[in-house]
Amino acid sequence: MIPSPPGTWSRLVARARGASPTGLYAIGARLATAAFSFASGVVAVALFEPARIGLFLSFSSLAAFSSLADLGMTYSLLLAAATRGADEARRLATAAIVTAIPIVVVTGTALFLGGAFFFKGGAGHAQWLWPWASYCAASSIQQVLTLIVTYAEGTGGRHAAWRANFWFEVAAGIAFLTLIGLGAELWSFTAASIVRVTMILILFARRFELFNLGNHSIAARLALWRRHLWPMQWKILVNNALGLLTTRLLTPILLATEGASAAGRVGLILALGSVITAATVAWPLSQTSIYAALYQEGRGKDLSLIFRKTFVQSTALSISLFLLAAIACVLAVETNPHLARQLPEPPVIWVVLLASPFAHISSCCAVFLRSQRHDPVVIPNLVLALPTLAILTYAARTGAATFAAAFCLLSVVFAMLYGGYLLQFLRRLRHAS
């Protein structure tokens, strides 16, 4: 590994301890996503009946599985690039891209078939086929090109990468909301992906040198991927897949089992909770390359200090957004008869959204634990996934209140699980220092 220039990590530490513009862009990117997602829900509630809202939210939930299209490659590349010299990081990025292209072809096809299974069962005569097929194709292309942005972030371009991510989300959100307002809500997902792809092509054109294999064959690149990326990649994949199965799959299950109207009412609050978590986790997520680099350098004390500060502040933000969202939804139900028909009862709103801060804690701990390029929680998550999904599916059939209680309780259980592993890791860092 090429040694880091003197003072590189000390500057990173100083910057992370202070007010980081990178962190602000990261939060801004997720808040932009949250704002457009919330606005899209408002527009959908105002313009569509519950059955159409249920289909839209189910489409959104299934579209979230496109983040698995690279099989965890993006996060694994980020951790690897942040802990290696420039030349080795470039070779790994090229290996990741070469490997990702056939992977996303297969996973994009699987995503299309999986979505078709749910839509055929609950979407009735809605015209979902071409919007869903086009989204699967566009999101697959986006996944490959996102590796270029990840490489830039992991090799010293954190600020440029998150600034670009912010503008990606703003531009994609405008396109997304525009098509919903025009009544083409299922095409809005494809439009947002096309916008992101176009902006990556424009802003990161000089990084396309990564597609050049140079003197190395495809087989050599695949060998690099197998040795240096796959050992962490499969752990990222498993955890991400389990997280999506136990959160984003719930609305499509409601669509297929209870009908579009039920999926629309409860799904709106589930979607809002997911938005809150995604927005607040962006803060620790933007620190990923710093966490990995400091761990690699053996700077356990600095790593712990940065994490503690980020954890406390981002969790406070999560709790604040939870309270604001819950109060706003309850007031909307109490004062607007139309919204009262579109949303569940206030107790259900409070309990479902209460899960958001606990989901934030789990995600924040996961980001920190993965700085060691190892995920100790992957096996416990794998063991708990099927019972969790079974409990939530059963609870969904017994009523909204039961479902909300089970959803929140399980979020607490997972937060405690991650918290236990976090304390062990912090103790190891303290002893190592």
> Locate tokens 């709103």: which residue?
349
Q: What percent of the chain has pLDDT over 90?
A: 26
Contact 143, 72 (CB under 8 A): no
At 135-149, the pLDDT tens digits run: 999 999 999 999 999
The answer, yes or no, to whether residue 75 has pLDDT greater than 80, is yes
Give the pLDDT confidence of 60-74 residue by residue, as tens digits.
Answer: 878 888 888 888 899
Give the per-residue pLDDT at 337.
77
Q: The whole model's pTM is what?
A: 0.71
The pLDDT confidence band at residue 433, using thresholds 50, 70 and 90, is low
* Half-sphere CA count of 292, side-chain side, radius 13 A: 26
CA–CA separation, 17 vs 310, rounded Å?
A: 9
Percentage above 70 pLDDT, the chain: 86
Tokens of 16: 């992370």
Q: Which of 122-126, 169-173, 200-204, 380-384 comes out lowest in average pLDDT?
A: 122-126
Q: What is the DSSP string of 233-281?
A: HHHHHHHHHHHHHTTTTHHHHHHHHT-HHHHHHHHHHHHHHHHHHHHHH
pLDDT value at position 419?
Answer: 93
Per DSSP, helices labelled H in 286-345 are 288-296, 300-335, 337-342
pLDDT of residue 170: 93
The confidence score (pLDDT) of residue 160 equals: 85
Query: What is the identity of the amino acid at 57?
Result: L
The confidence score (pLDDT) of residue 264 equals 67
The span from the CA of 315 to the CA of 363, in Å, is 11
pLDDT at 418 over 90: yes
Structure tokens at 140: 């697959």
Per-residue pLDDT at 122: 57
Q: Tell me the DSSP string of 74-98.
A: HHHHHHHHHTS-HHHHHHHHHHHHH
**Measured CA angle at 215 (ends 213, 216), to 5 deg:** 60
Kindly tell me the number of DSSP H helices and DSSP E strands found in the chain: 18, 0
Local confidence band at 262 (pLDDT 50, 70, 90 cut-offs): low
Closest residue by Cα to residue 1 from 91, 96, 88: 88
Please name which of 72, 43, 70, 69 lies closest in space to residue 56, comparing C-alpha atoms: 43
Task: Give pLDDT, residue 397.
Answer: 78
pLDDT of 33: 76
Q: State the distance between the two ends of the chain, measured CA to CA, in whole angstroms.
A: 23
pLDDT for 315: 94
